[in-house]
Amino acid sequence: MKARVALLAAILLVVSAAALSAHDMFIKLDSYFLNPGDTLRVPILNGTFTTTENAIERERVLDLAVWGPNGLTHPAPLDWRASHDTTYFGLVLAKEGTYAAGVATKPRVLEMKGDAFNAYLKEEGLTDILERRTRLGQLKRPAKERYAKNVKAVFQVGETRTPTVSLPLGFPAEIIPIDNPYVGRRDATLRVQCVVGLHPLAGITVFAGSQHGHESPVQKSFTSDAQGIVRIPITRHGHWYVKFVRMTPVSGQSVDYVSEWATMTFEVR
């Protein structure tokens, strides 16, 4: 009997971990090195950094922005496709330079049971919210969260590097690269700034991960400084991501918490 209980607990732990890791959303390109004149096929992964579970309908998009040699634009996406679990759209890349392209989604509401919500808070490094729930005796209470996601990819077109890439797309939450990931040594430190409403987020937990080939991503956590800046050691080649969740408890509303998610991806050769 004890063996069965232990086996069931292990299965539930695996299922819970899979469910928690499926909260994320990323723009993950096949290659972040492109040529002028290319039409970029942009995939949105709604799940994890390696899998997608749900498509994003065009109606869910709050904003689509591109920053590049022509400045900040909000182009109409080419051929937006949302079918089953996959989302793609196209962008035409006319000039050489370093680009950032991103999508911000409209808010949605999610309700979770107490234990599942607590595990989710722990997984995403939201220890302040977990400590608050503990202090108020709310660990068993279900939670309603209104969340929105803001995803970005930074990529290189041609050989001309853009000196300054630390310009925001203007999303509700955003990770802004201070350093151009396509300039300098491949073993340098990349500085990024985490903001909500263009205000720096101090002391927030930020995760950075990398994937080489088809292996599982390797992830580490960091804490932003007083200016919302995190310094990420670039230790190897591959596809990289940076992400954070900023959650705030609210009262007098139909939800208990409001959160903004932000991710940024790039590639290191």
CA–CA separation, 127 and 35 (whole Å): 43
Q: Are 197 and 169 in contact (CB under 8 A)?
A: no
Residue-level length of the chain:
269
Tell me the per-residue pLDDT of 139-170, one tens digit each, with 9 for 90 and over: 999 999 999 999 999 999 999 998 888 989 99
Tell me the per-residue pLDDT of 187-240, one tens digit each, with 9 for 90 and over: 789 999 999 998 999 999 999 999 988 889 999 999 999 999 999 999 899 999
Tell me the per-residue pLDDT of 41-63, one tens digit each, with 9 for 90 and over: 999 999 999 999 989 999 999 99
Q: What residues contact residue 134 under an 8 Å CB cut-off, 6+ apart?
A: none
Residue 9 DSSP code: H
Beta bridge partners of 206: 222
Q: Can you give the residue range of the structural domain that contains 23?
A: 2-268
Half-sphere exposure of 253 (CA within 13 A, CB side): 13
Q: What is the mean pLDDT of the chain?
A: 90
> How many structural domains comprise the chain?
1
In the chain, the amino acid numbered 50 is T
Over residues 238-256, the mean pLDDT reads 96
Residue 128 DSSP code: H
Predicted confidence band at 31 (pLDDT cuts at 50, 70, 90)? very high
pLDDT at position 22 is 57
Over residues 244-252, the mean pLDDT reads 96
CA–CA separation, 21 and 151 (whole Å): 16
